Chain A
Amino acid sequence: MRKSFKLDEIDCANCALKLEDAIKEVEGVADAKVNFLTQKLTLTTADDADFDEVLDRVVALTAQVEPDCEILR
């Protein structure tokens, strides 16, 4: 499943790159794209994963990696 979210306050491009790398490592995430310019996160989850559960994990990770940045869902 693939869905896009708005990322609020993602302030530096390098951080966006790192956040993307970090989210890709999250269990159940098949692919992730963080677009620094449009402030968008495009999350693709593995077929057998529960999207909302994965999203929860991603949100928790984001709060840890980039506390300023918030995923609006």
Chain B
Amino acid sequence: MNKKQRRWRDRIVAAIVIFFAIMALEKTGALEAVFSEAAVYAAFALYFAVFLLAGHDVLLKAWRNIRRGDPFDEAFLMTVATIGAFATIFFPETEPQSAEGCAVMLFYQVGELFQSYAVGKSRKSIADMMDIAPDYANIERDGELVEVDPDEIAVGDVIVVKPGERVPIDGVVTQGASQLDTAALTGESVPRHVEPGADVISGCINMTGILRIRTTKPFGESTVSRILELVENASEKKAKTENFITRFARVYTPVVTIAAVVLAIVPPLLGWGPWTDWVLRGLTFLVVSCPCALVISVPLSFFGGIGGASKLGILVKGSNYLELLSKVDTVVFDKTGTLTNGTFNVVAVHPEAGVDPDYVLSNAAYAEAMSDHPIAISIKQAYAGEIDQARIKDVKEESGHGVEATVDERVVLVGNDKLMAEHGSSWHECDLTGTILHVAVDGVYAGHIVIADVVKEDAADAIRDLHAAGVKKCVMLTGDRRDVAEAVAEKLGLDEVHAQLLPEDKVNAVEGLLAHQHGDGKLAFVGDGINDAPVLMRADVGIAMGAMGSDAAIEAADVVLMDDKPSKIAQAMRIARKTMRIVWQNIIFAIGIKVLILVLAAVGVANMWLAVFGDVGVAIIAILNAMRAMRIDE
């Protein structure tokens, strides 16, 4: 609680104590004993004093609104309702409502205070969530470390990050080694090891050693600044539900106010009962006429959902995308870099009978030693030993087929079946899918190596989670060969595969899938943000993954996954659904209770106490419910 809230609280508590004291005097007959006939007026005066103590700020605010000619707000309505209740004193034929008038104001103020406290609390947790931007950077000047505003650091400057500090600006490590905690950015709890030459991303916490980092971007364009900007502006892209609430709020108050006036005037004119009775019902109407429960809780839920998702390394660029994400029933994946690592790895070595697998691998590694082709690199990685360049002679690349080299005076052939056929070597097929590299030494077939793009560890889980979350169709698009694509699809449990696609075919494939969407279901496309910007834009929801530091992906996508785990998609959907559930709970609950109270008030069953609950009580419950959206269970 801040100072203002504390003063406010003290004032209300004092008013409540006095209120009950007066009530005790009244009920025990003490007032009557002293004032006899005039006891009612004495009670009125005492309650009115408490009323002023508790609610003078509300009255003042209402007065200002009237003077501006724009009276429709809570303060005005509360003022009219309570003053109206006090005014019953002038109509001796009805029971005086002084205690009610005073209590309504007290109850209203308690509710407002609590509301202000709850909002302050959720603001604070939002602020904490976004507290990943360091407000200084260390640079070395004349051998001493100085703290400067990160905005002043130019690209290429060397900054120093001490253990426990956050990296303020993206850059490359020039000196030092350390562990980086990237949890604030990716939700990943395993620290990352960095040493000279490694790229580091702002927002990570340096855990163990001192790092010197040469900056590669200005502060304003560094990852952490971009993320914060994105999350803060996310609420500007409003969801349909939010727009509905805003429109609803704009008409609801005037409509209820007019209804209240009609209710207070028309029935008594028709002679259906005493004026005071109907006026009181009209006043009760006014109390529930503020849409605050909705106006606060709906955006708060969205903000909470977006904030909670960002804790897990999922950036949602707007409430509208969160809403769309909750309705996704088709997820289209790009294969490479999304479901697979996008790097080639040796997955198997199949030597001929009697041949050592190491012999196959070492010959292949020597023959490919000079090449920078991804396949060659993967073989060299798989080969444990050192490569002695002196043993290699006469390397001849046969474009698209393979390589021929002389290693230790022996001719080594490494390549596909065409290369084998050309050189008259025998070979045989493999039952695994992937790229097959045959190895022959001096014309004798030694065996083959299977190289494939490895499926990500959590890819199968990701698809299963999506299906469990109600996604009807998981589709994979790839430029890869059909057999490779189908093998991956089967392994992962995908529903549909489109293989051998050119980049432009992917847009068409997504268009085709979009045309088959029916009902409310939305289509999400997941890519790695490289070359697939048009598809990301075309899909209802474009999801880019592995976006740590990739500006293109952050620009084109609607949802950005900071790390490259496909399982985050199902997580994002769960958060989206939970948020939407909370939003609808609040909408139905708030409107439902208000309408119920309006009906009860119109027929004269609901009193003002109930109406105050309908206003502040409902708002508090809705805010508490909305705060749940922020809590993320891993």
Contact = CB atoms under 8 A, between A and B. Distances in A.
Given A14-B73, A17-B246, A37-B122, A64 B68 contact: yes
B47 interface: no
Contact of A14 (B64, B235, B292): B292
Interface in A1-36: 9, 11-15, 17-18, 33, 35-36
B116 interface: yes
Contacts of A64: 68
Interface string B221-255: 00000000000100110000000001001000000
A37 B299 contact: yes
Contact of B4 (A9, A18, A33): A9
B303 interface: yes
A67 B64 contact: yes
B74 interface: yes
A33 B296 contact: no
A12 B74 CA distance: 10
A18 B69 CA distance: 13
Contact of B300 (A9, A15, A18, A37): A37
B44 to A, nearest CB: 30
A24 B558 CA distance: 28
A38 B296 contact: no
Give the most central of B74, B236, B290, B295: most A CB within 10 Å: B295
Interface string A49-65: 00000000000000011
B193 interface: no
B459 interface: no
B126 interface: yes
B119 to A, nearest CB: 8
Contacts of B246: 17
Contact of A38 (B73, B74, B115, B126): B126
A12 B235 contact: no
Nearest to B4: A9
Contact of B232 (A11, A17, A38): A38
Contact of A17 (B126, B295, B300, B303): B295
A5 B303 CA distance: 19
Contacts of B292: 12-14
B235 A35 contact: yes
Nearest to A39: B123
A36 B291 contact: no
Interface in B279-328: 290-292, 295-296, 299-300, 303
9 contacts: A11-B116, A12-B296, A14-B74, A14-B291, A18-B70, A38-B235, A39-B123, A40-B232, A65-B68
Interface of B: 4, 64, 68, 70, 73-74, 115-116, 119, 122-123, 126, 232, 235-236, 246, 249, 290-292, 295-296, 299-300, 303
The list of the 7 closest CB pairs from A to B, nearest first, reads A13-B295, A13-B296, A14-B295, A37-B303, A14-B292, A11-B116, A38-B232
